[in-house]
Structure 1
Amino acid sequence: MKKLRIGVVGLGDISRVYLNNLKKYSDFVTIDACASRSLEKAQKKAAEFGIPHAYACAEDLIEQADVDLILNLTTPDAHYRLNKLALTCGKHVYTEKPLAFTYAEGKELVDLAQSKHLRIGCAPDTFLGARLQTCRDILDSGKIGEIIGASAFVIYHGCETFHPNPAFYYHTGAGPLMDIGPYYVTALLSLLGPVQACCAMSKRTFDQRPIATEPHRGEMIDVEVDTYTTGLMQFASGAIGTAIFSFDVWDSNLPRIEIYGTKGTLCLPDIDPLDGPNIFGGDIWLRTEENYRWYSQPRDWFDVKKDWEHVPLTRPFASTSHSENSRGIGLIDMVLALAENRPERASGRMALHSLEMMEKMLSGAKTQQFGILETTFDRPQPLSADFPVR
């Protein structure tokens, strides 16, 4: 197959894991150019990773570099503009989430890609990791029966407690639903398929929040977004989903995701909210009618877990690290999809569906109305056994 030439725009912290992983797939892709907000930074990164060309701004790379695909790792406020420019210039796009700030912008991008016969893919691709792909195998096998419902919990006390520059998380376009939520929403969509309708209740608990980390300790952040959202999802399959997305909760023992079937329950039991579907590996607990028992006495949570079956991961890409993981396998899958003339798994259509649903949750919380989704997508196929592992 023909190698695809990649241009990377945005060279922040997340770029390192992408660049390291893409180098492992040099038989499929080459990284031919990179761009940052400063030419010096781009040149330094280019020298470190052996990238031939460095540009002082993303626009120059997109318009001038002889590449086939743009990997967009810039800040979310630039995603729509740069993704649109790349498609207009005839280049495929794989972007970090979000696809765009708004559903209208995202729809424009997906429609533009289709009209120009280009591919647009979007992170997160953690649903292609070992844990969620093993969950998919269990669901598809019928082991927990017909899916009744699911729950997801993104609850902790905000990024100002650990992040050195947390202000962005409270600005328009972010917040717990739009920033961390896509990992959880994408996980549910990849397992259960599209959503038909959704609704939510939402609130902004604090107008300002103090930063607890250096170098901005004590500075106040103006909060522009709701920080506690409870949502309901009606899946096209008939399953019902419940989710909480909050930066206002001090602690919780809730699991990150659970899937409920007529014959059993699947659980992602992580205590850390930045684990869950944010990582590629992790534990899976399974409870079925075969190992169910009723407790007549009070029980401790950490005793309960002994009665669950701990499911071994049967798929590749099982890292539980946030700094060294498999980010980018969604891009590699898109490159292979182009060569094989099939749909990519981390698709723009699934990302658009996710974006529409989250936007309708927030708008519906203000109007106290259900949102009926206009978009749909085909549930991505499980990662094939012959997918190249590096």
Structure 2
Amino acid sequence: MGDPHRVGVVGLGVISRAYLDTLANHPEVRIVAVADLDAARSTAVAATIAGAEAVSVAHLLDRPDVQTVLNLTTPAAHVEISLGAIDAGKNVYVEKPLAVAFPDGRAVIERAASAGVRVGCAPDTVLGTGTQTARAAIDGGLIGRPLAASAVMVTPGHERWHPHPDFYYAPGGGPLLDMGPYYISALIHLLGPVRAVSGAVSRLRAERVVGSGPRLGQRIPVQVDTHVTGVLEHVSGVLSTITTSFDGVATTAAPIEVHGEGGTLAVPDPNYFDGEVRLFALGGTEWRVLEPAAGYVDGARGVGLIDAVRASARRPPRAGGDLALHVLDTMTGLLRAAAEGRRIELTTVVERPVPVPLVPVEEWRGR
């Protein structure tokens, strides 16, 4: 197997715990350094990981023993940290989205290509048995030729549970940039790349109220659109409709549905790794649950980084930077289409990532 791949983690907020639970004891990865703007937090986290050192961000980026920087900062800081790591000759795996603005995301990918390093990006949830089993069903012809799809994400807003939700309502936030990467990444895995987008948006509340934690009751301004709906035109000719909203209480819609000539698939929430994939065949009388047939079994945050570590020159990372840039192009293009009232053609194209076979949990966790 060789020596473990050495990782430095920048950003130790809420999402970091999920990554650390996966990576801290993985035999193919060694976390050698952690950094956060809160030095006390860095020290506390380092104490829970054997061999990890709490350091400054600058020191972590300069450390010669760090091969990949796991960038878990807030979206506004993604580009600065990613470019700093790339300029230091390190690979990067970054939380979604790749960047807030498309030109910045393109700069990250181009700089990495020039430096000869790799970029990976969340979400890796789409590598789990939920999305991958649905993809296997589509590729296996269970619904015939795909014709259309829908994706729906409706919540009343993250301020109800997140103690510091400000960035969800600041530039770079909003339901599309926050949650859209899950749904659009899944649609690309299922149906291939997008060639053009159109959309409409709304923002009907000027502020939100923090619903938990030490800032309970504090009002925060809303600076972004909170209900986004659009149409994605896939290169294949399939049309996907997408709705992401912080303005609804609940929905009965399936997270994703794919309609084909021979049936419809109900695909589980791509914010999670697993879930039931259901098929309603043409001429049938009821939904049928498909057994998991592909994907990382019992997947967890960080499996995308492990997938990248295991990747070779012949098989690029499945949660790779090119896919993340195409997702960002799709999202920012949709928002621009809504603002300008017209159809926008995308400037990027990407290959569908290589499908994930059914990988037992013991195998991908290296047990």
Task: Name the TM-score, length of structure 1 as normaliser.
Answer: 0.89
- CA apart distance, 1:290: 4.2
| Residue equivalent to 1:113 | 112
Summarize the alignment of residues 88-127 of structure 1 with structure 2, pairs less than 5 Å apart. Answer: 88-127=87-126
- Given that 2:295 and 2:356 are in contact with CA atoms closer than 8 Å, whether structure 1 keeps it comes out as no
The separation in 1 between residues aligned to 2:59 and 2:364, in whole angstroms, is 33
- CA apart distance, 1:314: 2.6
Identity %: 40
- CA apart distance, 1:64: 3.0
The separation in 2 between residues aligned to 1:219 and 1:265, in whole angstroms, is 44
Q: Does 1:8 align with 2:1?
A: no
- For 1:246-282, what per-residue CA distance to the aligned partner results, in whole angstroms no more than 9, with x for missing partners? 111122211111011110000136xxxxxx1100011
In the alignment, structure 2 segments of 5+ residues that lack a partner are none
| Residue equivalent to 1:272 | none
In the alignment, structure 1 segments of 5+ residues that lack a partner are 270-275, 293-306, 320-324
Task: Give the CA RMSD over aligned residues.
Answer: 1.7
1:341–1:59 Cα change, 3 Å: farther
1:335–1:262 Cα change, 3 Å: same
| Residue equivalent to 2:48 | 48
| Residue equivalent to 1:146 | 145
- CA apart distance, 1:37: 1.7
Match of 1:350 among 323, 326, 331: 323
- Given that 1:33 and 1:65 are in contact with CA atoms closer than 8 Å, whether structure 2 keeps it comes out as no
- For 1:60-104, what per-residue CA distance to the aligned partner results, in whole angstroms no more than 9, with x for missing partners? 210235211111111111110000010011001111111111100
Summarize the alignment of residues 178-197 of structure 1 with structure 2, pairs less than 5 Å apart. Answer: 178-197=177-196
The separation in 2 between residues aligned to 1:197 and 1:19, in whole angstroms, is 37
| Residue equivalent to 1:303 | none
- Given that 2:293 and 2:357 are in contact with CA atoms closer than 8 Å, whether structure 1 keeps it comes out as no
Task: Name the TM-score, length of structure 2 as normaliser.
Answer: 0.94
The separation in 2 between residues aligned to 1:115 and 1:136, in whole angstroms, is 33
Report the secondary structure of 2:47's partner residue.
Answer: helix
Q: Does 1:335 align with 2:328?
A: no
- CA apart distance, 1:213: 3.1
| Residue equivalent to 2:279 | 286
Q: Give the residue type in structure 2 aligned to 1:159.
A: H
Q: Does 1:376 align with 2:349?
A: yes
The separation in 2 between residues aligned to 1:142 and 1:288, in whole angstroms, is 11
Match of 1:312 among 287, 291, 295: 291
- Given that 2:295 and 2:357 are in contact with CA atoms closer than 8 Å, whether structure 1 keeps it comes out as no
Q: Give the residue type in structure 1 aligned to 2:13.
A: G
| Residue equivalent to 2:231 | 232
The separation in 2 between residues aligned to 1:176 and 1:222, in whole angstroms, is 15
- Given that 2:129 and 2:358 are in contact with CA atoms closer than 8 Å, whether structure 1 keeps it comes out as no
Summarize the alignment of residues 206-217 of structure 1 with structure 2, pairs less than 5 Å apart. Answer: 206-217=205-216
How many corresponding residue pairs?
A: 362
- Given that 2:67 and 2:90 are in contact with CA atoms closer than 8 Å, whether structure 1 keeps it comes out as yes
